[in-house]
Structure 1
Amino acid sequence: MFLPLHDTNPIRHVRFPYVTYGLMAVTALVFLVQSMLPPAAFDEVTIYFGMIPIVVRDVYPQPLPWLPDWAPLVTYAFLHADWMHMLTNMLFLWIFGDNIEDAMGHVKFLVFYLTCAVIAALAHLAFNLDANGPLVGASGAVAGVMGAYVLLYPHARVFVLARIVIPIPLPIPAFWMLGVWLGMQLFSLVASPQAPVAWWAHLGGFLAGVVLAPLFKRREVVLLGGR
């Protein structure tokens, strides 16, 4: 329906958002290593480090005995199913992550990102208690970044590639762009609940971002700003 390209929201408090770019680099590197593995080894990695509800709940033993049961609540966010999955998540992180890192500071942003990843995984787990398939992808953590963005910078302009008749880049307020994204997640959850997409992780991560943003932001960063 649309693809975000970039925003017009400058950073004001940090010189360089190295945590955002570091997360992007680590995620891309992990998937590069994954993609070089034979198919059987690729699948093993997703089983070992993906978030499997029955493993996290200790119904089934951890495939790697030395890995704590809670660890996949974090490690899953650095794995992806394919290149498109990874690149899409990193595109959204690149567009919105620098401003949220700017609003929170480097260390708080890293803690915020990983916390959103954990909450997103727990949201998926809560509605898929007996699932035995691995959850992978940064979507939940990135959704948290998007939730924080819509609360802190709802009026910032985001250029999106919208397909009306032909693809056209259009500047629209972040509130509308991210609101449409959220509406699509809710619609998809209702229309295709059995689809192999972690809708609950997306929604849980987004809600986590909205709730946590006021707690992590700098005092001088106002809510609903970013014009």
Structure 2
Amino acid sequence: MFPIGDDNTGRTLTPYINYLLIALNIFVFVYYQALGTNQYMIASLSTVPAEILSGHDIAGNGLAPTPIPVYATILSSMFMHGSIAHILGNMLYLSIFGDNLENVMGHARYLAFYLICGMLASLSHVFMSALLNDGLYVPSLGASGAISGVLGGYIILFPRNRIRILLIAFTFRVPAIITLGIWILMQVVSQYNSLHAQAEAGVAYAAHIGGFVAGMLLVKSFVRKTVPAV
């Protein structure tokens, strides 16, 4: 089940911030990360749980010196991606769901919402790593946490919006509450399986869940006007 679009009939605001976020992510990935081949950047500017917990830069064991305060990597890591598939998937979700939130929040509020959700998502990953004492020295990166916040906000504000999904060779229109409900359920199941070493390594499911929950809890405080009935 792959989302390819949603209902934008009620959109009145051009989503400049959403366009900017997509462009910035792509620019960083292409220009600075050299399409994901710049491993030094990943090793130096990603979020490393052990660094956040200690407040100190850690070099060695695959990690490079961090040229900025370690806490700032919570922000820098949000604009980096590990592969072409990683960034394409993230930007697809952001392009589909982000504009609706920007429409009801306004540009500045939407940007603040996006960044806050992303930071809370990263901290969720750090907390889970500390709780499990696992992956403390593994760099994490990507816009997935912030986008998960967008998805959490979307399911609260637009639960009945029809999402166009691609399933094998067919397209269907499914309410957002079902589409995104299945998505977050998959994240929870994947996080549970990862505790038993059954899930694919390298995916920060705790960040996805933390971002989604943050988006659900915060979204209404960022809305600048009444959301039209859908």
Match of 2:29 among 15, 28, 31: 31
Which residue of structure 2 aligns with residue 184 of structure 1?
Answer: 186
Cα distance, 1:37–1:149 mapped onto 2, change above 3 Å: closer
Which residue of structure 2 aligns with residue 101 of structure 1?
Answer: 102
Q: CA deviation at 1:115?
A: 0.3
Match of 1:45 among 21, 34, 41: 41
Query: Residues 141-190 of structure 1: CA distance to partner in whole angstroms, max 9, x if unpaired?
Result: 00000000000000000000013xxx210000000000010111111111
Which residue of structure 1 aligns with residue 85 of structure 2?
Answer: 84
Which whole-Å CA distance do the structure 1 matches of 2:34 and 2:220 have between them? 41
Cα distance, 1:50–1:220 mapped onto 2, change above 3 Å: same
Tell whether the 8 Å contact from 1:49 to 1:76 is kept in structure 2 after alignment.
yes
Which whole-Å CA distance do the structure 1 matches of 2:35 and 2:7 have between them? 39
Matches within 5 A, 1:66-81: 66-81=67-82
Tell whether the 8 Å contact from 1:58 to 1:69 is kept in structure 2 after alignment.
no
Q: CA deviation at 1:35?
A: 4.6
Q: TM-score scaled by structure 1? A: 0.90
Which residue of structure 1 aligns with residue 174 of structure 2?
Answer: 172
5+ residue gaps in structure 1? none
Which residue of structure 2 aligns with residue 204 of structure 1?
Answer: 210
Q: CA deviation at 1:49?
A: 1.1
- Write the letter of the residue equivalent to 1:175: I
Q: Is residue 2:147 matched to residue 1:149?
A: no
Q: CA deviation at 1:192?
A: 2.8
Q: TM-score scaled by structure 2? A: 0.89
Q: CA deviation at 1:11?
A: 4.3
State which drifts further: 57-66 or 131-140: 57-66
Q: CA deviation at 1:70?
A: 1.2
Which whole-Å CA distance do the structure 1 matches of 2:163 and 2:105 have between them? 20
Q: Is residue 2:12 matched to residue 1:10?
A: no
Q: Is residue 2:143 matched to residue 1:138?
A: yes
**C-alpha RMSD of the superposition:** 1.8
Structure 1 outlier segments of 4+, above 6 Å: none
